[in-house]
Chain A
Amino acid sequence: MTGVRVAGVGLTHFGKHPERTGRDLFAEASERALADAGVDRTDVAQLNYGNFMGELSEHQGHQGPLMAEAAGLTAPATRYESACASSGVAVREAVKDVRNGEVDVLLVGGTERMNNLGTAGTTEALAIAADDLYEVRAGMTFPAAYALMAQAYFEQYGGSKEDLAEIAVKNHDNALDNEYAQFQSAISVEDALDAPRIADPLGLYDACPITDGASAVVLVSDEYADEHDLDAPVSITGTGQGGDKMALQDRQFLARTPAAERAAEEAYDDAGIGPQDVSVAEVHDCFTIAEVLALEALDFYAPGEGIGAAARGETTRDGDRPVNLSGGLKAKGHPVGATGTSQVVEMTRLLRGDHPNSDAVPGDVGVTHNAGGTVASTTVHVLEVDR
């Protein structure tokens, strides 16, 4: 079985681009990734593409071939939809296809256009990642769903709004020098606590913004990288995916995310590492509480112990295991279909040394954690760099 290298990565700026179409955003990200990889476009044998709400935001289904065209490819293309984990799943399927020898060179990416829907339209569009009969018809929004998990967490393990605010402050700090980030501005704990409430205990600064953007990576087999003398020191060495019941009410746990636990365990086993070997992580912090749940699912902390990690300085950029050095979804932004691949982009840059926060990376092993819905689906990837 061949290894899988990240040959090139590309992003658009994440932020408000309501006037730009999805195809234009993906064209930019994919062009950057292909240029960064230095591979011949005609060698790209497949596009794996993630997108969630294209039918609602752009009246555009069947985005696979459209985006292949935007990227200048004639290769077959498939869209993967798994809510906010759409492009995480696209990456996982790409890794499997390279490993099993199906293809040597793949483009993987994702796009989401959201700001043209406005806040109300985006709230409604995101809600369809929840159970329509039992959750959406009861008035549940995504902030409300994560608020229900936060309340359950506080009830079971303790924790406070201040603990959550520390996570927002950390991720905003990390985004200051990230040119692709939506928010390059610092906030204080007081700012977060004083912000308008969205769904208690979550306020405006506990939530990621509404974001437009695209991401792309070029994955190649070890053999292709060697034959073409590519400078591609980062490999994806582990992949995992987990699932859970769709509706919160049907889950065994409301303050834990077993889908992510299973994905992490599978990815660690696949890479032949354990959580103690991981030196840096990009996790799915769509809401501040989500980062806590991710840290525990990745087994960096026991259930109930991840809540104070940012406040204690353990996950900050000068901590032992920095988390979301990109700024995370919270500050970098969350164009949902683009997020999973963008985490791989950020981690690759962090590990190979060309990210503004690379100097904060304390080791050679990174993990990306991408969650769909209220973590009814999750992918986890392990990335390692040869130095």
Chain B
Amino acid sequence: MSENESEPVRDEGFDDFLDAIEAGEGFYLECPEGHGSLPPRRVCPHCGATDLEETPLPETGEIETYTEVHVPAPSFADDAPYVTAVVDFGAVRLTGQLRGGETAEIEVGTEVSVGIGENETAGERVVVFRVA
């Protein structure tokens, strides 16, 4: 195996985004029309503008919808059951796992912060929400 093949491949843009969240400097991309999107992007998916600017992600968002997953994909086998949520941060939404709370207490509208955690099964980084 060559040296290149032994190195895990970074997904530039996406991994930069996870790094930024991990450092407490989460951002999204904003076009001149004010549309939000997430990297990697060269073009605003809403209007086609090409001058996208990194804009700070709000520190908290609201749960818009969620589910407790009992039958996971193999790469999340040891993580189940877990709660997957879509969280509204205003200009963008993010999908991740809700951790550290009693699922019975969660409801749509619950305010959460975003961070990066680890997938127990595969040890890979995953977007994580915690009740704010």
Give residues in A with beta carbon < 8 Å to B: 119-121, 123-124, 127, 133-141, 143-144, 147-152, 155, 196-202, 245, 247-250, 254
Contact = CB atoms under 8 A, between A and B. Distances in A.
Contact of A197 (B37, B70, B74, B125): B70
Interface stretch (B1-9, B19-27, B47-55, B78-86): B78-86
A137 B108 contact: no
Nearest to A204: B71
B55 to A, nearest CB: 16
A152 B65 contact: yes
Contact of A198 (B70, B92, B97, B125): B70
Contacts of A197: 68, 70
Q: Could you say which of B73, B75, B125, B126 has the most chain A C-beta atoms within 10 Å of its C-beta?
A: B73
A245 B45 contact: yes
A137 B45 contact: no
B95 interface: yes
A249 B93 contact: yes
Interface in B52-69: 64-69
Interface residues of B, number: 35
B33 interface: no
Most B CB contacts (10 A, CB to CB) among A127, A143, A144, A245 go to: A144
B126 A139 contact: yes
Contact of A134 (B82, B95, B124): B95
Interface SS of chain A: helix, strand, loop or mixed?
A: helix
A139 B108 contact: no
A144 B11 contact: no
Contacts of B11: 133
A186 to B, nearest CB: 24
Nearest to B93: A249
Contact of A248 (B45, B73, B82, B86): B86
Contacts of B70: 196-200
Nearest to B36: A250
A136 B14 CA distance: 13
A147 B73 contact: no
A202 B68 CA distance: 10
21 contacts: A120-B77, A123-B72, A123-B73, A124-B73, A133-B11, A133-B14, A138-B84, A139-B126, A141-B69, A143-B71, A151-B65, A152-B64, A152-B65, A198-B71, A199-B68, A199-B71, A202-B67, A245-B45, A249-B93, A250-B38, A254-B65
